Amino acid sequence: MKQELKYNKSTFWDVFKIAAISSLLVFMIACSNSSQSKFTYENVAIEAEVDSIMHAKWGDNFQPADYPKQFFENLITLEPGDSIQKAIDEVSQSGGGIVYLKEGTYPLNVSIVLKSKVSIIGEGVEKTILLQTANLDKAAFNVEAKPQITDVLIRNLTIKGTRSGEVNGILIRGRNESRHERIMLQNINVTDWSAQGVHIKRTNHIIMDKCNFQYNGTAGGLYHNVYFLYNKNILQSDLNMSYPVKGKGCKYTSCEYVLAQRCTIKDTHGNGIQSDHEQAGYIFFHKYHISGCERVAMWFPCEDYYDKFTYKENPKYAPQHIILNRCEIVDNTWGAMWRLVNDSYVINSHFANKKIDMGLLKCDVKMENSSFEKGNKIYTDVKEWPEDVKILW
């Protein structure tokens, strides 16, 4: 039986409209995703070797950093001259979102207060510049102990000081009762601040990726390019923390669960890095390069932060569970000077320094497939400690 197909004009247009709407929706979603991608952080690449060694030496004891949760419902785009603080406040009060800083220089007369669920995104480190002015006090970006903040991203911009006053680039201060959490810095420069370049304390889950923290600390030797104090769950990747003016490249005081990979510190007048005090441990340095330090590249003293001028031999004040893998510690006066550091490993690493590669006082450190051109010293009594290396530096 022959079936006749009838043309139904109404049905045709209904199908056409549905198809058109569907195509439009697909296009809008694609555009939205494309626009959203420039505001989204990139995940940090961690090499398989790191996970393998970490599990072999520590089992499941390491606690990695969590990424911040991002919110895209609200977007405010700024030009130089607009109020960054007002935009942050509006986005935060609306439930979170993006503050997008277009190309240009943004003079900072007052500190910008960071708030939860707000991502601050620039057009690039060479394009979006936040610049210290003579009126700026305390910090470019500031967070006090209260209220607690979570889920903050700063990305694709430069925070530049003028080496004047006593001002920090980024200052985040939490409290033990309610720590700040999930703070991420990605592809930013923080340079030329008189105090700390970045100072974060009592905060958990910190990620720093593809950043330059350099030429900070002109106000004195207690100011560093990066200074962590009482933090947990830190991921540092592909950072350059070279050329601190008077302090250290990076200081890890009372920090637990740290993975620092592919980082560089060059040319310090004092020590390169320091790790010390209680609650310091499970720190993994992978492909860390330190060179040109006038003192010690890796200074791990047994030091009580609250009584630092009294010498103590209590392992609670020294970092424990340290791994160095594929690190290069060269051309420093001293390579590593450690006291009471235990359950630790130096793997696949190269040391070539001027006086001592590793000086170990009452330490338990195992060497695996590593080279030491100058040689190491093992001390069983503090009286054997080199006279030209201060007990408290």
Within a domain: 104: yes
Within a domain: 360: yes
Residues 257 and 184 in one domain: no
Band of residue 385 on the pLDDT scale cut at 50, 70, 90: very high
Residues 101 and 221 in one domain: yes
* Complete DSSP assignment for 337-362: EEES--SEEEES-EEE-SSEEEEEES
- Whole-angstrom distance, CA of residue 170 vs CA of residue 376: 38
Report pLDDT digits (tens) over 107-133.
Answer: 999 999 999 999 999 999 999 999 999
Report pLDDT digits (tens) over 52-106.
Answer: 999 999 999 999 999 999 999 999 999 999 999 999 999 999 999 999 999 999 9
Give me the number of domains the chain comprises. 2
DSSP for residue 362: S
Confidence at residue 221, expressed as pLDDT on a 0 to 100 scale: 95
CB 349 within 8 A of CB 325: yes
In this predicted structure, the answer to whether residue 198 has a pLDDT above a threshold of 60 is yes
Confidence at residue 47, expressed as pLDDT on a 0 to 100 scale: 95
Within a domain: 3: no
Band of residue 46 on the pLDDT scale cut at 50, 70, 90: very high
CB 65 within 8 A of CB 234: yes
Confidence at residue 194, expressed as pLDDT on a 0 to 100 scale: 98
Which of 241, 274, 294 is where one domain is finished? 241
Question: What residues make up the domain containing 217?
Answer: 72-241
Q: Which two tokens stand for residue 281?
A: 């441990």
Report pLDDT digits (tens) over 271-306.
Answer: 999 999 999 999 999 999 999 999 999 999 998 989
Residues 234 and 125 in one domain: yes
Residues 93 and 216 in one domain: yes
Residues 218 and 361 in one domain: no
Residues 112 and 190 in one domain: yes
DSSP for residue 27: H
Confidence at residue 389, expressed as pLDDT on a 0 to 100 scale: 95
Confidence at residue 159, expressed as pLDDT on a 0 to 100 scale: 98
One-letter amino acid of 62: F
- Stronger pLDDT, 24 or 358, i.e. the higher one: 358
- Stronger pLDDT, 208 or 27, i.e. the higher one: 208
CATH of the domain at 203: 2.160.20.10
Confidence at residue 29, expressed as pLDDT on a 0 to 100 scale: 45
- Whole-angstrom distance, CA of residue 339 vs CA of residue 18: 73
- Per DSSP, the three-state class of 240 is strand
- Rounded to two decimals, what is the model's pTM? 0.91
Confidence at residue 236, expressed as pLDDT on a 0 to 100 scale: 98
Within a domain: 12: no
CB 254 within 8 A of CB 283: no
- Whole-angstrom distance, CA of residue 119 vs CA of residue 75: 10
Residues 309 and 386 in one domain: yes
Residues 171 and 297 in one domain: no
- Whole-angstrom distance, CA of residue 89 vs CA of residue 114: 9
Residues 6+ positions from 249 with CB-CB distance below 8 Å:
224, 225, 226, 241, 242, 265, 268, 272, 273, 290
Confidence at residue 26, expressed as pLDDT on a 0 to 100 scale: 47
Q: Which two tokens stand for residue 218?
A: 């002109």
CB 111 within 8 A of CB 141: yes
For range 21-43, the mean pLDDT: 66
- Whole-angstrom distance, CA of residue 353 vs CA of residue 335: 6
Confidence at residue 308, expressed as pLDDT on a 0 to 100 scale: 83
Residues 77 and 141 in one domain: yes
Confidence at residue 5, expressed as pLDDT on a 0 to 100 scale: 34
- Beta-carbon count within 10 A of 202 CB: 19
Band of residue 11 on the pLDDT scale cut at 50, 70, 90: low
